[in-house]
Structure 1
Amino acid sequence: MIESEVLNLKNVLARLLHYSKTIKEISQIHSQIVTSANLSSADRSFLVSRLLFFLCTVSNAPHSLDYAKKIFNLVPKPSLFMYNAMIRSNSVKINEPLWCESLVLYKALLHDDISPDCITFPFVLKECAKRVDANIGRSIHAHVVEFGCDFDVYVQNSLINLYTQCGILEDAGRVFDEMFNRDVVSWNSIIVGFLRGGELDKALVLFRQMKERKNIITWNSMITGLVQGGRSKEALEIFHEMQVLDDNKDLVLPDKITVASMLSACASLGAIDHGRWLHSYLERSGIECDMVIATALVDMYGKCGSIERAFDVFHAMPKRDVLAWTAIISTLALHGFGNEACAIFEEMVATGVRPNAVTFVALLTACAHSGLVEKGRLCYDVMRQDYCIEPEVQHYACMVGILGRAGLFSEAEEIIRNMPMKPDFFVWGALLGGCQLHGNVKLGERVSRFLIELEPENHAFYANLCDVYSKAGKFNDLKRIRSLMKAQEIQKTVPGCSMIEVDGVVYEFSVKGSPGLLMDVPKSLLVVLSNEMKFESYSSNSLWWYQTVGGGDFWS
């Protein structure tokens, strides 16, 4: 056969391989490659390499990786290209049994005296990141330097991802600082790493220093990290920045992740105007309002006090999962609609949706806020008996809260004694709340002292004890505790604050003052309210005295 015909056969087989859909078709091409006498060894090696690459990176046929592995094991001396294809394929697969395979292949590559290149290392490092194995990762890092790949941007990005996944932020920062060329992936990787590690301020500094144009991943990472870190007001400010054109460049439009994170921020801030804008943006932009987004809308409207809108979104959902039902139950619980929450729960069960542990936390909270003792007991029993959900510490805290608010202190203490885990501050706090409500000084004092022993420098426990003494009229004990706090220099570390949204702007009011706000008007209003409350208190006390002591006929 002449050379042009041989070349034509090679091209035909390569083209057929490109259009193959099934393992059967691929195996037929493989048999042609192996059996054809009209192919040179170099052409056959080329086609086998292409076959491996196709199976590892392109083919969606079932068991394509298994077939590639069989072919690879039959090759007497695999090339670097073949090794890279196999390493890459195994590193991107999510099947757990294959997680070690790329490292085994990398070890075999070194054993065959083949030098890895800048394509090899990113996938080997990705394997280490998935395994969260810093020790092997550091060894691979040493090989990166040894084989001269330490200044390749893709390898450096992979190293940053490895160290951030392993929680070694110092090493991630060192790799980032040593980079001569950084792309948007480099910045995103280090910012996400600091956000995951709880280093929000460092992440913000890097975000501000970022020279490359921020993409949607950058914005979403920063917004989501701040929301999850409890800094929703700053997340709102970042979102506003995202909507402003930067150096006449194209605007980065919010996507599903942005909207979901911002709805969570609005829920925590009570920023209903921003929440309504996001809802309207969803409708204008054509972003799919799936169950995740719809559930976030229900949660936002519920926490912002718009129960009717929360129900509108809930009823408009074509399909509702357990999270959606839990969100609407939590909304009712938050606003004290205990009976309605129980009714929604019954509707949820009737539709075939199985409640989870979080659902029962919401339901028990609803019973606690509404004083529904019997329904609370019933929900607690149903959770354990019908759904085999063992109570967690949150459920115990809710039950103690239900019983404590009802004044059933013996039963509440019995629950605490029988807890399989150590009661936390929320459990004891729920009991203490009942003591404050019913004036149970003896138990309240005991619980407060127990909490103070656990955390002697926590001002909140001293404040609770002061409240118990104040409501019981034990002012000498109250003065003694305040003197003790002063002597031990126990102060409130985080000043109390509240936030309110006015005309789309979220204002924060703190006990230490609010920079940038005119406080004269709020202060004067507080004085007026305080005087009115004192007058009402005096009037009600006088009414009680005259009716019980001075003679009720005076008011008749």
Structure 2
Amino acid sequence: MRCATALARLIHRCQSLRELRQIHALITTSPYLDPRTAASLLSRLLFFCATSPAGSLPYASALFRRLPSPTLSAYNAMIRAHAMPTSSLSPLSFYVQMLAAGVRPDHLTFPFLFKHCSLRLDSAAGRRLHAHVSKLGFHLDIFVENAMVYMYSSCGLVDSARRVFDEMAHRDIVSWNSILIGYLRCGELDLALRLFLDMKERNTRTWNSIITGFAQGGRSREALALFHEMVFSANEYAKPDKVTVASVVSACASLGALDQGKWVHGYLKRYGLEFDVVIGTALIDMYGKCGCVERAVEVFQEIPKKDVLAWTAMISAFAIHGLGEEAFGLLEEMERHGTKPNYVTFGALLNACAHAGLVEKGRWCFNVMKQVYFIEPQLQHYACMVDLLGRAGLFEEADRLIRSMPMEPDSYVWGHCLVHVGCMEMWRSEKGWLVI
């Protein structure tokens, strides 16, 4: 008994995979443990290995395979571990194996299975699990119900989510947040707002959901109004965080609301909210779109670890204001730091060329994108090139470029042609392109 207690204590205090391996060896070689006690300790070790940062999922999987008769706890540990987005295995396979072994699931089994369905947008599997929940009698457990509401909401099945929500005997803030997210993912902003106003309790996630939903749904003024209501609500459980700030800054950018954006930036500094690459990128975008390139540069320089999105946001800010040379200078600096440009970066560079009239740079950029970085040009890249060539009066070259496109030109490409060609007859082709 003392040996088992000591080993359980060691598992609880384990700090590394090396220690975990040593404990595993002690359990399997100890002459003082009976098989039942050893199996219990191995299940506990498996749970730690599968769920702790100090553990290892591959090691946990190997340990699980060696268990002669895995317990419910062991199955739940593997289901929980493999419900994470980084896992290459599906937790559903462990659930099927569990049922085949005659092990009955409990209320801890299903939330992680529904989480997996939410991440994979697998509503078919989610519906089958819902049927199992009802059959096994777990449909009245609030944690399982919340997981089902969130799964249906994530998959865009807001009617199914609402049915589960309405049938709940008891609801908590997670229940309300889950159905709110469902309405916002389906674009039902007015219904979401009505539900939000009916909520007696709101936390930071509640506010972030409604603010982000309205900002992304093209209703930026309302998003800003909701943010100010959040700030002045004096709710200790609903304080703005970096997610809130990123959404609000995005709303300011879409409105060109520089004063509001500066106020939010000041709020970020006053209250010591985390300043990371996501916040920094949003601020660069906002300052760039609002005409404050200098402030955008200042923010860019403050970002400690810049990713491709941050570099691209700064290049885009230069592009908007016709600072083509600065944009290409930043590209060189970006490459020196070991960050590879992506298709969005090249779109920003071509846009910079168009605004600054840098025809040669634009041609070079278009070719490098394909030949050096193996990025196939998309419609937006062709549209930028047509715009660049049209501004320079190179209509024949623009004509040849359009004819060489591997896809049909869309209204955006033709729009640039019309702007520069005016009323002259548009080019004909065997594909029956638009003629004016």
1:227 to 212, 215, 233: 215
- Distance in 1, matches of 2:64 and 2:305, equals 47
Q: CA RMSD in A?
A: 2.9
Query: Is the alpha carbon distance of 1:386 and 1:68 closer, same or farther for their aligned partners in structure 2, counting shifts above 3 Å?
Result: closer
3-state DSSP of counterpart to 1:151: coil
- Distance in 2, matches of 1:303 and 1:49, equals 56
TM-score (norm 1): 0.71
Number of the residue aligned with 2:368: 382
Q: Is the 8 A contact 2:146 2:178 kept in 1?
A: yes
The 5 A counterparts of 1:167-246 are 167-211=156-200, 213-245=201-233
Task: Show CA shifts across 1:271-323 (max 9, x none).
Answer: 11111112222222222333332222222112111223223333444554433
1:270 to 253, 256, 272: 256
Number of the residue aligned with 1:80: 72
Q: Is the 8 A contact 1:401 1:431 kept in 2?
A: yes
Number of the residue aligned with 2:49: 55
- Distance in 1, matches of 2:95 and 2:308, equals 44
2:86 to 90, 94, 114: 94
Task: Show CA shifts across 1:101-122 (max 9, x none).
Answer: x322222322233322211111
3-state DSSP of counterpart to 1:185: helix
Query: Is the alpha carbon distance of 1:81 and 1:288 closer, same or farther for their aligned partners in structure 2, counting shifts above 3 Å?
Result: closer
- Distance in 2, matches of 1:388 and 1:402, equals 22
Query: How big is the shift at 1:176?
Result: 1.7
Number of the residue aligned with 1:442: 425
Number of the residue aligned with 1:477: none
- Distance in 2, matches of 1:431 and 1:336, equals 20
- Is 1:165 the counterpart of 2:144? The answer is no
Alignment gaps of 5+ in structure 2: none
- Distance in 1, matches of 2:322 and 2:152, equals 47
Q: Is the 8 A contact 1:405 1:433 kept in 2?
A: no
Query: How big is the shift at 1:196?
Result: 2.5
Q: Which moved more, 1:302-311 or 1:369-378?
A: 369-378
- Distance in 1, matches of 2:335 and 2:17, equals 46
Q: Is the 8 A contact 2:357 2:392 kept in 1?
A: yes
Query: Is the alpha carbon distance of 1:146 and 1:225 closer, same or farther for their aligned partners in structure 2, counting shifts above 3 Å?
Result: same
- Distance in 1, matches of 2:274 and 2:105, equals 44
Number of the residue aligned with 2:124: 135
- How many pairs were matched up? 434
Number of the residue aligned with 2:239: 253
Q: Which moved more, 1:142-151 or 1:388-397?
A: 388-397
Q: Is the 8 A contact 1:244 1:251 kept in 2?
A: no
Q: Which has the larger radius of gyration?
A: 1
Query: How big is the shift at 1:334?
Result: 1.8
Q: Is the 8 A contact 2:203 2:237 kept in 1?
A: no
Number of the residue aligned with 1:366: 352
2:2 to 8, 13, 23: 8
- Distance in 1, matches of 2:9 and 2:304, equals 46
Alignment gaps of 5+ in structure 1: 1-6, 454-464, 466-556
Amino acid at match of 2:285: D
Query: Is the alpha carbon distance of 1:20 and 1:92 closer, same or farther for their aligned partners in structure 2, counting shifts above 3 Å?
Result: same
Amino acid at match of 1:81: S
Query: Is the alpha carbon distance of 1:376 and 1:137 closer, same or farther for their aligned partners in structure 2, counting shifts above 3 Å?
Result: same
Q: Which moved more, 1:291-300 or 1:66-75?
A: 66-75
- Is 1:280 the counterpart of 2:247? The answer is no
Amino acid at match of 2:233: L
Amino acid at match of 1:384: K
Q: Which moved more, 1:85-94 or 1:235-244?
A: 85-94
Query: Is the alpha carbon distance of 1:333 and 1:444 closer, same or farther for their aligned partners in structure 2, counting shifts above 3 Å?
Result: farther
Amino acid at match of 1:244: F
Q: Is the 8 A contact 1:400 1:415 kept in 2?
A: yes
Query: Is the alpha carbon distance of 1:402 and 1:25 closer, same or farther for their aligned partners in structure 2, counting shifts above 3 Å?
Result: closer
Number of the residue aligned with 2:395: 409
- Distance in 2, matches of 1:190 and 1:397, equals 40
Task: Show CA shifts across 1:482-529 (max 9, x none).
Answer: xxxxxxxxxxxxxxxxxxxxxxxxxxxxxxxxxxxxxxxxxxxxxxxx
- Distance in 2, matches of 1:201 and 1:275, equals 25
2:290 to 277, 290, 304: 304
3-state DSSP of counterpart to 1:442: coil
